[in-house]
Structure 1
Amino acid sequence: MARTQNKKLGLTGKILIGMGGGILFGLLIRSLFPDSQFIEEYITNGLLNVVGTIFISSLQMLVVPLVFISLVCGTCSLSDPSTLGRLGGKTIAFYLFTTAIALSMAILIALLIHPGNASLAAENMQYAVKEAPSLSNVLINLVPRNPIQAMTEGNMLQIIIFAVIFGFAVSHIGERGKRVAALFTDLNEVIMRVVTLIMQLAPYGIFALMGKLALTLGLETFESVLKYFFVVLGVLLIHAFIVYPTLLKVFSGLSPFTFIRKMRDVQLFAFSTASSNATLPVTIETAEHRLGVDNKVASFTLPLGATINMDGTAIMQGVATVFIAQVFGIDLTITDYAMVVVTATLASIGTAGVPGVGLIMLAMVLNQVGLPVEGIALIMGVDRLLDMVRTAVNVTGDSVATVVIAKSEGAFDEVTFNDSQAGKTAGSFVEQVNADIKD
């Protein structure tokens, strides 16, 4: 009986157990040993930090090779320049469209609910912010001067550009190109296999991440910005479970319920890691094996989405702008809000899919409309929690766009999408790993 139950416990169940167990462990230790130097040094910054960091690093280790190899494979099959241009145009247009919707909705709801309290402005607000890149620099830096350096630095936009050019060249050199393409196809299989092996760490890594979060979250700061927190959270949930499913139904005719059910693993990973890039291996695997998207589309739209599609971050920026303006008693005009929408939408192109980067881009948005950047200190205490939720929203948006575009390109298997067991056999992380162990 125990063996049967263990067999039924899938990746989602193990992740949930890891998340819940980590949170309970952190809260219990925090209540039993408040202000303990030993706990902070050996548990919070020791064991939990080491295990959680190893898990994140193991996922990030795969991002550059996965993106480069997958994109080369996908681009090799798009030998027609018009196909590549059409796919890129659709992808970017869809991402910018959903980001603009997210920002507009966030600003409107924040104005209606009015989360800001002017008395908070008297609190100590210190925040050292890195300078956000200008739009011109983002465009200039699209093309890598040194592709190897771009890979070592993890510059995703430059890697994407180089991989697309490389793959396009491979598809146009005849028989030799076919040999190179076959090599990259084999390498892609190897990388995906490595992903399945690393998934064995997932429950333990997520337990450590959640435990550390529960031990370090500043409850006082959380209480002072409770209204802001719930406004952002509410808009994020509306965008994830109302806007995205509506767009999926309108543009593809597919079942939103099937999509959301199959996205649970990806959303939980994104929530746990707070990094679109770290979640990318899981997102690509799910899109291809669970949602039925062809590799030539998924390998292009998902890495691009992890780099430029930041709807969750845009929602935070919209609500935070209104919140900070209200805290400091500054009235913004309709023109100012329009500038926020345009600036934050374009800024999403240069936003990296890593934890905490939204605060850096928020500084640029605040400067654009003349708001004090120091106001960011008010929301830092709860931003980690919101960062986790908005990352889950981001990867959901990436996957919606991927399914919609794949359907429009005829690169979509609807049978796989509607099959509740698809990807749970040969394509599933946990089943492959378990099969390896049994062998």
Structure 2
Amino acid sequence: MGQQEKVATSLAGTVGEEISASLTSVDAELARRYPGDPGTRQPVHTVYVPADDFTATTIRTWGDRALAALDEHAPDAASLASVLGLPQDLAEPVHDRVRAKLEREPVEDLRIDFEDGYGPRPDAEEDEAAARAARLVAEAYAGGTAAPYMGIRMKCMEAAVRDRGIRTTDIFLTGLMRAGGLPDGLVLTLPKVTYPEQVTAFVRLLEAFEETHGLPPGRLGFEIQIETSQSILAADGTAAVARMIDAARGRATGLHYGTFDYSACVGVSPAYQASDHPAADHAKAVMQVAAAGTGVRVCDGSTNVLPVGPAQQVHEAWRLHHGLTRRALARAYYQGWDMHPGHLPTRYAAVYAFYREGLGQAASRLAAYVAKAGGDVMDEPATAKALSGYLLRGVDCGALDATEVTELTGLSRADLDGFASPRRGGLTVTAP
């Protein structure tokens, strides 16, 4: 042991106390605005189904149609790998897992659509459809046939349809309450938000519903759909989407990019409206920065190119969808929209390949970090958080098995939760 160092200070103890006191309000504001990831499962996609098309068998029907498309156009691992350009070592595990997913849980998140996919209807007709949607969702959760997440997209808060959107939301939520209560996987989507005041108005609606039914404050959250340029850049030059998150008062759960409405809003011609257009990249980058640390998750848009028709046409649509999904994952958009059952095989193929190809490296880096063993990459706590989040998302969607992750990292699910989000609790390990 070397000579013990003498420790000396110059400042009075009151200096630190004064500084801490001066930052008390800042500390509280940081905790309120930036609580971090909620630590819950994020679905890899959202499926939108018009309210008049939704039935008790919709989820299973989507799964069966997706399986039929896979059997017809990529019946084995080699053919799927050939179509999508998957590495040979991933072909078998990806194909097998995609099939198993489509059989077990074909849809992770489903939104019954009362907006663009449904359109204007007589009030009596939409009233009945909203009540029917509530009954079917309640029955699905009670019977174990629901997707992990389900809910509705109501009409927006613009003047022309505001009353209709409010009434549909009320009917749907009231129907769920009468059927036994709000399910844990309930999700609401507010479309075409342009001004933060529209978010504030929707918060007031949800507050009133909670007060009426004696629900805990904040029980009802919602997604904000970004479909207009004004929701990204306000007239005063500020980032309106950041103000929308604040206006939600902790209720916002996601920002969903609306590919086609947003593209049309900024003047992109139909042939070039896509989620990889520069205008889309800019909007999502602003959404991503605004949401960072808030616990609000960003969701990519969709493609309207459907995998239908002869094999060559299906394969081309699959390659497009697969490529867009992989591109989004690389940019940390872990969720997107799927518009057709034929999109499900490529959604899961892209997601599963993404997590399986990175499993070895992510697991070894995290294990080295925990052991303070060093290696060829020097990781910090923020990277350990990202590595854990990566592995957890892979497990949640079925790309990875919890047992194989534990074997490779030496960490339990609880350990990974602790690294990934302070709101989950768990281990705290300082940087090597």
Q: TM-score, normalised by structure 1?
A: 0.27
Which protein has greater RCO, CA pairs closer than 8 Å, 6+ apart?
A: 1
Larger Rg: 2
Q: Which has a greater percent of helix? A: 1
Q: Which has a greater percent of strand? A: 2
